[in-house]
A and B are shown apart, each in its own frame.
Chain A
Amino acid sequence: MDQAGRTAWPGAPAGPEATLDAEAAELLPFLKQGARADLQTAAAQHILALTGTGPGRAVLAGQAGLLQALAELAAAAAPAPAVARDAARALVNLAADPSLHEQLLAADPGLHARLLGRALDPQWPWADEAAAALANLSREPAPCAALMETLAAAAPGSGLERLVCALCTPGYNARAPLHYLGPLLSNLSQQPAARAFLLDPDRCVVQRLLPLTQYSDSSLRRGGVVGTLRNCCFEHRHHEWLLGPEVDILPFLLLPLAGSEDFSEEEMERLPVDLQYLPPDKQREPDADIRKMLIEAIMLLTATAPGRQQVRDQGTYLILRELHNWEPEPDVQIACEKLIQVLIGDEPECGMENLLEVQVPEDVEQQLQQLDRQEQEQLEQQQRELAGGSKGEGPAPT
């Protein structure tokens, strides 16, 4: 793996750039469609090797013709499987380098649409590679926005809807597990248009993602889904709907954080049904980053007072209390503590349980409202920082 956190396939050490340039140019004829199969295979392998190193990639980036040929090969149905696969993997490596995005798109303007088409094609054997390339591309804001536009412009049923479908349907593509669609969606969910679709109350979209928070086969997919959900939780106006019965997001955020606790009967009844009577072998989410994102998502849901109440009422404190006792990672522990503070703070004093009925003198009332506004602004500022800090995320891919 070359750059940390980016998906890449291994390559070979590079030689001096000038010869590389020339070498690369020489490969172009062999990459064209219709070239001799064995030569094509060798050429593709060579390109893949080049993409494994920084200088190699830079060289390739300068060769628009090569890039275009590569893109075509990666999506072509005709050539030998190894060729398409290597070409696709070369693209993944190239896409991992943000400095190359511009050239890639310049060389092949239809790149996004082509990659999306392949990633979401249930029959395409290299759909994973296409998805990985897209995941890499989407880490940067500009390509991410461009991708979102491409998706939005797609025919109904082919754009984001298809992406969510592919992510949520087990066995969508028999030859590609498509876990990379997780981080792709997570990155896309930073775009307001994506969130608008995901949180459309007239559809059933976000609901389909919820069970994936327990998807044990891939932390990549799981992390992508959790990241998506967390980004969705920034939408204050949707909190009531998210916490309500039509979506019921909270149990799905809490379940990965819960172990097999022996709660009393009374405590158990306070929890959402999904968290009651968990079997003795229940495991918590093993990935610390994902645990942290789950806590962040719940924290976001406590932004409004009604949301806070809902989160409290569903027994969140009980789960977090146990999590805190178990949590080995210090930064996750801190996040946990902060959330617990929000949950147990603000307890009404005796006689003030129903704040609506307390008589507040007018000047005090105004002061309180002022404080409220300030607090809200601070919170939003914090969340903007959180969102900015989490751009181009992805749990460390393998």
Chain B
Amino acid sequence: MEGSQPDAADDRHMDAFLDKFRSQPYRGGFHEDQWEEEFDKIPLFMKKAPSEVDPKENPDLACLQSIIFDEERSPEEQAKTYKDEGNDYFKEKDYKKAVISYTEGLKKKCVDPDLNAVLYTNRAAAQYYLGNFRSALNDVMAARKLKPHHLKAITRGALCHLELKHFAEAVSWCDEGLHIDAKEKKLLEVRAKADKLKRTEQRDVRKAKLKEKKEQNQNEALLQAIKVRNIRLISEAAGEDEDTASEGLGEIFLDGLSSENPYGARLSLDDRGRLSWPVLFLYPEYAQSDFISAFHEDSRFIDHLMVMFGETPSWDSEQKYCPDNLEVYFEDEDRTELYQVPPKSTLLQVLQHPRYFVKALTPAFLICVGASPFCKNFLQGRKVHRVK
């Protein structure tokens, strides 16, 4: 268009156009009550792009999109557009969409290594914020293949290693980056953090090792104490009785010693070298039981019974379970023969009985009221020995 003088013909057309509105209302304008919504639909005035572009709802926008994503533009241009799109999503913290955009950009396989390196690095950043640290690392390494000294890629890589707890690698990557820019603040920060975490991790390893060694020593001491006393152990699984002298069995029990039994108690050695056992008292008459978490081997059954049966228990409907009435038995492993234990015996004395086998490191005893009908019934038909 030339000339500063308005064309007279155009003027007349304009006048005619404007004159129309004396009689006809202008229909192309905004509606008074919803002008803001309509405003937002015009691409030029959009503050935020809609996440999905529906051509029916928004024909103008769809039109614009088809222009910028036109397949006829060069791969570089297309890739750049995708990069920009990804960056916009990234700014809005829509990392999933950002990843998709960057991926589309990379799919164009344009020949510009800088652009591709940036696409990889940006995608890595988006993956990082999505918590996909390994994917992010892969992208960063791809970026560095194209541009080994890409500082943002190196920084992102160091951050990924940090999140993955690869502290030594994190420090190493930071050093590579600092080789390029010795004063890069983020790298200095990450390096210091990673180094400290690495040293803390080393401490944790040392601590665990020491603890394990200590535990192992304790367990060996326990096993030794048992061995010295000639107490026979049986594991849950084993059906036969074996001498604790055999090495293999010792290992099974070492494991058992480490873990607590279901009742939360374990065998222990005091500073005088005396053992305390978790012990089960079973009352077959009423199908009840009592658990003693630490029965000192030198204490007597009667001592415990006196305390436990100071008052008769609630399940003792006949109120006959008093310390003086109680009789203590143990079964031999074949569960055929019973042995009666004098209540004044110590635990150690009983455990050392040649026919006593400690099962699952928890000695168990049967208790009933002597001379009661249940007891007579219970003992009937079984061989009963008296333990000295």
Contact = CB atoms under 8 A, between A and B. Distances in A.
B210 A277 contact: yes
B192 A278 contact: no
A277 B203 contact: yes
Contacts of A161: 182
Contact of B207 (A203, A248, A277): A277
Contacts of B202: 273-274
Contact of A274 (B175, B182, B203): B203
B183 A203 contact: yes
B199 interface: yes
Contact of A273 (B188, B191, B200, B209): B200
A101 B348 CA distance: 85
Interface string B169-212: 00000110010001101001001100110011011001101100
B203 A245 contact: no
B175 to A, nearest CB: 8
A279 interface: yes
A278 B196 CA distance: 17
Give the bracket for the number of chain A residues in contact with chain B: 10 to 19
A245 B206 contact: no
A245 B191 CA distance: 11
Nearest to B211: A277
For the residues of A in contact with B, the DSSP-based class is: loop
For the residues of B in contact with A, the DSSP-based class is: helix
Nearest to B174: A204
Q: Pick the most buried of A204, A207, A246, A248: most chain B CB atoms within 10 A of its CB.
A: A204
Given A204-B188, A246-B192, A278 B206 contact: yes
B206 A276 contact: yes
B203 A202 contact: no
Nearest to A282: B206
B196 A245 contact: yes
B182 A277 contact: no
B192 A274 contact: no
A204 B200 contact: no
Interface string A239-259: 000000110100100000000
B64 to A, nearest CB: 46
Contacts of A207: 191-192, 195
B199 A204 contact: no
28 contacts: A161-B182, A203-B178, A203-B182, A203-B183, A204-B174, A204-B175, A204-B178, A204-B182, A204-B188, A207-B191, A207-B192, A207-B195, A245-B196, A246-B188, A248-B196, A251-B199, A273-B202, A273-B203, A274-B199, A274-B202, A276-B207, A277-B203, A277-B209, A277-B210, A278-B206, A279-B206, A279-B209, A279-B210
Interface of B: 174-175, 178, 182-183, 185, 188, 191-192, 195-196, 199-200, 202-203, 206-207, 209-210
